[in-house]
Amino acid sequence: MASDLDVDMALEQQVEENLYWYQACSIDPCATKVCDIDVIQGGDLDLLPVWPELEEQGITSALLDSLLEGGDEQEQPPASKVRKRLQPSSPHSVLEKVSERKDEVGGAEDDNDDEDEDDDALCEFLHQSLETEACLDFSPMNFDDFQLPGDPELDLQHQEFFGCRLFHLLLAGAEAMFSQALDLAKVILFRLRELTSSCSSSGPVFQRLALYFTEALQSLLDGARITKVASSCSMSYLDSITAFQALHEASPYIKFGHYVANQAILEAIGDDKRVHILDYDVTLGIQWPSLMQALALREGGTPHLRITAVYRPHSRHQLANFQETKERLMECAAAFKIPFSFHQAKVEDDEDSKLVGLKLIKGETLIVNCMLHLLHVPHKSPSSVLSFLKSVQKFSPRLVTFVEEEVVSCLSAPNTVDKFFQALHHYSAMLDSLEASLCETTAHILVERAFLATRIKTALIAHHHAHSKVEWSSLLHSAGFHRVSLSRRNICQARLLLGLFKDGYQLKEHHSDEEIEKLLLSWKSRPLIAASAWTCKNKSSDGSENEQQ
Amino acid sequence: MLRQSVNYQLPAAATSCSRSYLDSRELAFLSKEEHSSPGPERYYYNTPEKLKNNTTIKEAWPLSGLSVRGISILRGSNDAACVEQLLLHCATALESSDTTFAQQIMWVLNNIAAFDGDPNQRVAAWFLKALVSRVSRTLLSFSSSPPRFLPSSSPTAAANTNLSVFQDSCLNLDASSASCFDNRLLTPIQLAKFVDLTPWHRFGFSAANGAILEAVQSRDKIHILDLSITHCMQWPTLIESLSNRPGGPPNSVRLSVLTARPSVPPFVDMPYEELGTRLRTFARSKRVNLEFEVVSSSDLIPGLFQIRDGDEALVVNCQLRLHYFPEIDDHDGPHLDHHGLSSPRDEILHLIRSLNPDMVTLVEEDADVTSPSLVDRLRAAYNHLWIPFDLLESCLARNHELRLQYEADVGRKIDNIVACEGEARIERLESRDKWSQRMRFAGFRQLGFCDEVWGDVKWMLEQHATGWGLKRDAHDLLLTWKGHNVVFATAWTTG
């Protein structure tokens, strides 16, 4: 079936015809009565000539249904009923609603636990939610119509319908993509682009989310590679800095990881006289002033601090400037009167496995700092992080601080569409929180443009190409590390930090046997960032004299 | 001195860049542009010229807010000066809206602070708590979201019924971490223990009682108007002294207690009426005929109040109470520039003056926390309120419940001074000079304390720790802790 050009062409033509047909019978959203034209029902789908071929490709009826916007005329609820059902609510609620339906159908209690959910359930869910969606069409023209001033309540309804439509299409697009039905994916994306073209970048969260995910799916379809996407960001350096400042000041995303890590480091080094931190990605070095200040006040006296930054000549980094970072940190250390030196170690391959120029001194406490959650830092593939960690494992670091986006563990769900769905959820929460934190300045849009759009793209691409399940804890275990419990004080500190930001951010602790395995930063109960600490199993050769070529 | 050495101002350009971000109109304009030029990268946009022109890359560097600003750090977390400096840095950062730096210092401070540590750590913990609560209050006032409520199911909230909140030695920010002591009701016995623990209140009682005894020594009818916060704990001693005075007990003692009490600790689980009954019973046992009445401030009208007998001696006793009368924020220099009676604080003094009392005793803490600047206020509060934490170290074990309660009361004061603004800020201690000025302005003349009073107070102090001292400055009597002024007592008369 796969590469028969004629079949493909015919298929595409038919789908487009159907789309055309579907658009022809589109319904005015302001009308209370549904048009008289027969609408395709789920059960009648096999009447369509296109259907068997699609079935062969593994495309289910519900998917087509969502594409074609079918519905049941008899069960069509009157407009007033619809209005009641769809309460005006936050933009985030659109996705929540989709998720609720999904849970109902899939029977899964928790977002993290729905790994058992299979394609059938998802399809059934799509199907069911479409039934309730009513047969309102929001073609671009119609969408523009209700942008006009009118009944605000109606406006909200329309937005919710529009949001549901967008998300169904996104899920359908993702399923088509992941089941290699690229032709269908093309059609769906065409439609999605059409719909999102009317989405304003200053519009509600769900519109922007749809916009970014459509972009991401498109680049996935175009076969983009992570490195290409990461370097394609057209943001100027200055804009990136401005966006970064906004993100750093008004939301806890960056600071949460930094402070949890620093607290763990501070506690791990005790009264050691020489401390060496190997920073996987130093970027601007903003993590370190607070640690320096705390070290300067340490009762056991100030230690000698060395920071080695991993330097990647092949990667184009928007924000990193080694020389400037160095100067800033030197200045800072001088202000706190800390003996300090700053070095770099180079990795020359893409996979971060060969570390060159790392100097270790005997008797020095080695700390490895891995901040993978930073939105402003290009995405790192799990394999490269792992190979980096494996390469430093032999130096027996006292502590490895590890902060990642919690989406990773969500994406470890076996079902690819489910992964996509979790990613939608994750970034929707992230967008929502950014908007809430930065609402006064509209800087959140700048932040999204600068970092999140690219982040979504790279995350999707990475997980599309990742064949194995990515579960950090097992990966780190396999690399020879084991967990270190985070302290009560660390929880207090994190709680204090979150208390300094807008409502909605929460701290969750992940316990196992009295130990605090990791701390989670959540937005409205959705975990977004996870921080944990690790150490090496063999503590025998502590900081042996070693110099690597 | 410290304020001069620290320059927290960001460069103007950097500030405009980091805080004004984008004008919404510009964004609207941009989004219009985007419609006309669709493409895969359409939501990326060009920087508005305004930002481009005003900002250089160096200035926009995020660390510019954190870099060297004359921060001199003292060594060792046990250094009180170091804690004070960190607190002041934090307050300065908050005042200049440098949230990142403020958060950094809070994190560092929180590594030092401990509610159950040494006195320094305890002071740090309570001040840090106040600063954090200030930030969350600011957040609330700026956001349209409803006030934050604590999830009652959270383990910390559940633990708040007992002292286990303090198990986590560091600051546990659940906003309520110390609220278990809020509105804690004491029995009269507990209240007596609380008052007897330190000379903080007893000093004022002794000095005032001594002055009152002297002022009414030949009078047979005595009327005392009591403005205090310690629920009449002062009076048994005076009643006893009156009963034993050389000329025999007076014919009648009338005690009028002003009801409108500020909502500050100590709270007692007994209504005024019952307190009065107990006092009367006690007085009867001492052969003193006591009348007890509760008055509201509306009763304090000349002519209405006090008219009983022309020969009744009126004494007004102000114990650590007057600084709770509101005061207009002092923006325009010395208070006396406000002509007339614009401030409620002067009004109450004039009201007292209009009652034409034989004597007024004024006992207040010697500190000035009225500055509108957070940094100045915090410095003043720190320099005064480290004392209770230090002195408690000398008389109670670190985990003694009474000590934790006492400190929570002080913490409440700190919170009010640091975190509250406007009318909510009720802790408005004023300096000794200011009070003298106000009293003179209201038409009072200061009296000295006789040697007998000095001796009494001295004797009382000997029952307490060695750090306490007594000092005379002109007519004022001063209680000191390790040489620092704590509370002053003054006596005034009309004419």
Task: Name the nearest CA neighbour of B463 among B116, B71, B218, B195.
Answer: B195
Question: Is the pLDDT confidence value at A50 over 50?
Answer: no
Model pLDDT, residue A469? 55
Extract the tokens encoding A521. 């930063």
Is B110 in contact with A302 (Cβ distance < 8 A)?
no
Tell me, yes or no, whether A325 and A433 share the same domain: no
B143 in contact with A, Cβ within 8 Å? yes
Number of structural domains in chain A: 2
Question: Is the pLDDT confidence value at B264 over 50?
Answer: yes
Range of the domain at A186: 157-223+412-467
Nearest by CB to residue B171, choosing from A237, A241, A492, is A492
Q: How far is CA B228 from the centre of its chain?
A: 15
Is B107 in contact with A235 (Cβ distance < 8 A)?
no
Q: Is residue A544 part of a domain?
A: no
User: Cβ of A41: how many Cβ atoms within 10 Å?
Assistant: 16
Nearest by CB to residue B63, choosing from A246, A286, A449, is A286
What is the overall mean pLDDT for chain A? 72
Sign of torsion, CA A199 A200 A206 A210?
Answer: positive
CATH number at residue A346: 3.40.50.150
Model pLDDT, residue B369? 95
Chain B hits for A335, Cβ within 8 Å = 67-69, 71, 73
Extract the tokens encoding B283. 């007085």
In tens, the pLDDT along A70-79 reads: 334 334 444 4
Strands A505-512, A515-523: pairing is: antiparallel
Is B67 in contact with A492 (Cβ distance < 8 A)?
no
Question: Is the pLDDT confidence value at A35 over 80?
Answer: no
Contact A515, A483 (CB under 8 A): yes
Is B40 in contact with A284 (Cβ distance < 8 A)?
no
Tell me, yes or no, whether A170 and A213 share the same domain: yes
Q: How far is A1 from chain B (nearest CA, A)?
A: 31
Tell me, yes or no, whether A219 and A330 share the same domain: no
Tell me, yes or no, whether A461 and A496 share the same domain: no
Determine which of A165-169, B117-121, B124-128 has the lowest per-residue pLDDT on average: A165-169
Q: How far is A455 from chain B (nearest CA, A)?
A: 14
Model pLDDT, residue B38? 32
CA–CA distance, A134 with A128 (Å, rounded to integer): 11
Exposed / middle / buried, residue B452 (Cβ in 10 Å: 0-12, 13-18, 19+): exposed
* Domain endpoint, select from A467, A485, A505: A467
Model pLDDT, residue A270? 92
Contact B32, B24 (CB under 8 A): no
State the amino acid at position B83 in one-letter form: V
Model pLDDT, residue B216? 93
Q: Is residue A364 part of a domain?
A: yes
Q: How far is A242 from chain B (nearest CA, A)?
A: 6
State the amino acid at position A339 in one-letter form: P
Of A120-124, A141-145, A413-417, A537-541, give the range with the top mean pLDDT.
A413-417
Nearest by CB to residue B108, choosing from A294, A334, A442, is A294
Contact B328, B315 (CB under 8 A): no
Tell me, yes or no, whether A387 and A430 share the same domain: no
Cis peptide, bond prior to residue B266, ω within 30 of zero? yes
In tens, the pLDDT along B394-444 reads: 989 999 988 998 999 999 999 999 999 988 899 999 999 999 999 999 999
Model pLDDT, residue A153? 60
Nearest by CB to residue B107, choosing from A232, A286, A497, is A497
Packing angle, helices A152-178 and A92-106, rounded to 10 = 50
Nearest by CB to residue B47, choosing from A236, A255, A290, is A236
Q: How far is B422 from chain A (nearest CA, A)?
A: 22
| Mean pLDDT confidence for A510-524 | 89
Tell me, yes or no, whether A268 and A295 share the same domain: yes
Q: SS3 for A25? A: coil
CA–CA distance, B326 with A410 (Å, rounded to integer): 56
| Mean pLDDT confidence for B237-253 | 93
Q: Which of A196, A201, A209 to mutate to test the interface with B (most CBs of B within 10 A)?
A: A201
CA–CA distance, B326 with B425 (Å, rounded to integer): 9
Element (H, E) at A171: helix A152-178
What is the predicted ipTM?
0.76
Q: Is residue A368 part of a domain?
A: yes
Model pLDDT, residue A5? 47
| Mean pLDDT confidence for A130-142 | 38
Q: SS3 for A34? A: coil
Is B107 in contact with A442 (Cβ distance < 8 A)?
no
Tell me, yes or no, whether A165 and A277 share the same domain: no
Element (H, E) at A506: strand A505-512
* Domain endpoint, select from A467, A485, A508: A467
Tell me, yes or no, whether A398 and A509 share the same domain: yes
Q: Is residue A178 part of a domain?
A: yes
Q: How confident is the model at residue B260 (pLDDT cuts 50, 70, 90)?
A: confident
Determine which of A350-354, A391-395, A463-467 has the lowest per-residue pLDDT on average: A463-467
Chain A hits for B66, Cβ within 8 Å = 286, 289, 332
User: Cβ of A359: how many Cβ atoms within 10 Å?
Assistant: 13
User: Cβ of B152: how many Cβ atoms within 10 Å?
Assistant: 8
Is A244 in contact with B31 (Cβ distance < 8 A)?
no
B40 in contact with A, Cβ within 8 Å? yes
Beta bridge partners of A410: none
Model pLDDT, residue A129? 44
Determine which of A335-339, A346-350, B74-78, B345-349 has the lowest per-residue pLDDT on average: B74-78
* CA neighbours closer than 13 Å in the CB half-sphere of residue B279: 26
CA–CA distance, A55 with A63 (Å, rounded to integer): 10
Model pLDDT, residue B39? 32
* CA neighbours closer than 13 Å in the CB half-sphere of residue B456: 21
CA–CA distance, A99 with A122 (Å, rounded to integer): 11
Model pLDDT, residue A467? 54
| Mean pLDDT confidence for B341-358 | 86
Tell me, yes or no, whether A516 and A373 share the same domain: yes
Contact B141, A527 (CB under 8 A): no
B38 in contact with A, Cβ within 8 Å? yes
Q: How far is A208 from chain B (nearest CA, A)?
A: 10
Nearest by CB to residue B61, choosing from A239, A250, A324, is A324
Torsions phi, psi for A244 (to 5 deg): -60, -45
DSSP secondary structure letter of residue B305: B
CA–CA distance, B53 with B55 (Å, rounded to integer): 6
Question: Is the pLDDT confidence value at B32 over 50?
Answer: no
Extract the tokens encoding B401. 């419940």
| Mean pLDDT confidence for A197-213 | 82
Determine which of A2-6, A290-294, B10-14 has the lowest per-residue pLDDT on average: B10-14
Question: Is the pLDDT confidence value at B365 over 70?
Answer: yes
What's the pTM value of the predicted model, to 2 decimals? 0.77
Tell me, yes or no, whether A398 and A519 share the same domain: yes
Q: SS3 for A295? A: helix
Name the CA dihedral angle for A94, A99, A100, A106, rounded to a multiple of 10 degrees: 160
Model pLDDT, residue A47? 33
Contact A355, A345 (CB under 8 A): yes
Determine which of A2-16, A391-405, A421-435, B319-333 has the lowest per-residue pLDDT on average: A2-16
Q: How far is A143 from chain B (nearest CA, A)?
A: 14
| Mean pLDDT confidence for A235-243 | 78
| Residue with more model confidence, A398 or A140 | A398
Percent of chain A exceeding pLDDT 90 equals 19
Tell me, yes or no, whether A306 and A386 share the same domain: yes
Packing angle, helices B119-142 and B99-112, rounded to 10 = 150
Model pLDDT, residue A316? 63
Q: Which of B17, B58, B66, B85 to mutate to test the interface with A (most CBs of A within 10 A)?
A: B66
Q: Is residue A43 part of a domain?
A: no
Is A302 in contact with B175 (Cβ distance < 8 A)?
no
Task: Name the nearest CA neighbour of A215 among B195, B390, B41, B477.
Answer: B41
Determine which of B58-62, B82-86, B294-298 has the lowest per-residue pLDDT on average: B58-62
Model pLDDT, residue A33? 32
CA–CA distance, B38 with B43 (Å, rounded to integer): 9
- Tell me the C-alpha to C-alpha distance, in Å, between residue A363 and each of A273, A394, B289, B359, B428: 9, 15, 81, 74, 55
Element (H, E) at A481: strand A481-484
Q: Is residue A113 part of a domain?
A: no
Name the CA dihedral angle for A66, A70, A74, A77, rounded to a multiple of 10 degrees: 50
Percent of chain B exceeding pLDDT 90 equals 50
Packing angle, helices B401-419 and B188-197, rounded to 10 = 80
Chain B hits for A340, Cβ within 8 Å = none
Q: Is residue A90 part of a domain?
A: no
Percent of chain A exceeding pLDDT 70 equals 62
Helices (H) and strands (E) in chain B, counts: 18, 11
Model pLDDT, residue A179? 82
Is B139 in contact with A211 (Cβ distance < 8 A)?
no
CA–CA distance, B102 with B93 (Å, rounded to integer): 5
User: Cβ of A144: how many Cβ atoms within 10 Å?
Assistant: 11
Query: Which chain B residue is nearest to residue A258, measuring alpha carbons?
Result: B104
Q: How confident is the model at residue A234 (pLDDT cuts 50, 70, 90)?
A: low
Element (H, E) at B165: none
CA–CA distance, B238 with B209 (Å, rounded to integer): 6
Q: How confident is the model at residue A266 (pLDDT cuts 50, 70, 90)?
A: very high
Model pLDDT, residue A12? 52
CA–CA distance, B24 with A202 (Å, rounded to integer): 9
| Residue with more model confidence, B307 or B424 | B424
In tens, the pLDDT along B436-476 reads: 999 999 999 999 999 999 999 999 999 998 999 999 999 99
Model pLDDT, residue B415? 94
Model pLDDT, residue B357? 92
Tell me, yes or no, whether A350 and A417 share the same domain: no
Contact A295, A305 (CB under 8 A): yes
Contact A426, A406 (CB under 8 A): yes
Sign of torsion, CA A33 A37 A43 A45?
Answer: negative
| Mean pLDDT confidence for A371-376 | 85
Residues near A441 by beta carbon (within 8 Å), at least 6 away in sequence:
A246, A250, B19, B20, B21, B22
Question: Is the pLDDT confidence value at A535 over 90?
Answer: yes
| Mean pLDDT confidence for B106-126 | 92
| Residue with more model confidence, A382 or B251 | B251
Model pLDDT, residue A335? 84
Is B27 in contact with A293 (Cβ distance < 8 A)?
no
CA–CA distance, A190 with A23 (Å, rounded to integer): 14
Cβ under 8 Å to A: B residues 268-297: none
| Residue with more model confidence, B66 or A242 | A242
Q: Which residue, chain included where needed, has tokens 């929001």?
A: A138
Q: Is residue A100 part of a domain?
A: no
Model pLDDT, residue A95? 55
